[in-house]
Amino acid sequence: MTKADMVELVYEQIGVSKREAARIVETIFDIVKDTLERGENVKISGFGSFNIQHKKPRRGRNPQTGEEITISARRVLSFKVSNVLREQLNP
């Protein structure tokens, strides 16, 4: 499913214009992105949780040359599905 598919479904199910449906979908994504950028978790009841995990710097190797390199610290996004959705997907 693409963002355009979501806009189409909002348009069909709610009955607003396509422009308004696109604005609704964009606003939801912007809220989620802004919240995650601030380092906060996003929990959508019945769907799942988006969590920011902090990875420490670590040593690694370049697989082509074998040279040791330092992998910098970073934030990683993870998603954990809710039990409700998991049960719907795997009855």
The verdict on 51 and 86 lying in the same domain is yes
What's the CATH number where 50 sits? 4.10.520.10
The verdict on 59 and 25 lying in the same domain is no
The verdict on 49 and 85 lying in the same domain is yes
* pLDDT the model gives residue 91: 85
Percent of the chain with pLDDT over 90: 93
Q: Do 22 and 6 form a contact (C-beta atoms < 8 A)? A: no
The verdict on 5 and 46 lying in the same domain is no
Quick: pLDDT tens for 2-54. Answer: 999 999 999 999 989 999 999 999 999 999 999 999 999 999 999 999 999 99
Quick: pLDDT tens for 65-75. Answer: 989 999 999 99
The domain in which residue 9 lies consists of: 1-39
Structural domains in the chain (count): 2
* pLDDT the model gives residue 19: 95
Average pLDDT of the chain is 94
Task: Quote the strand ranges of 1-91, DSSP E.
Answer: 42-44, 48-55, 58-61, 68-71, 74-81
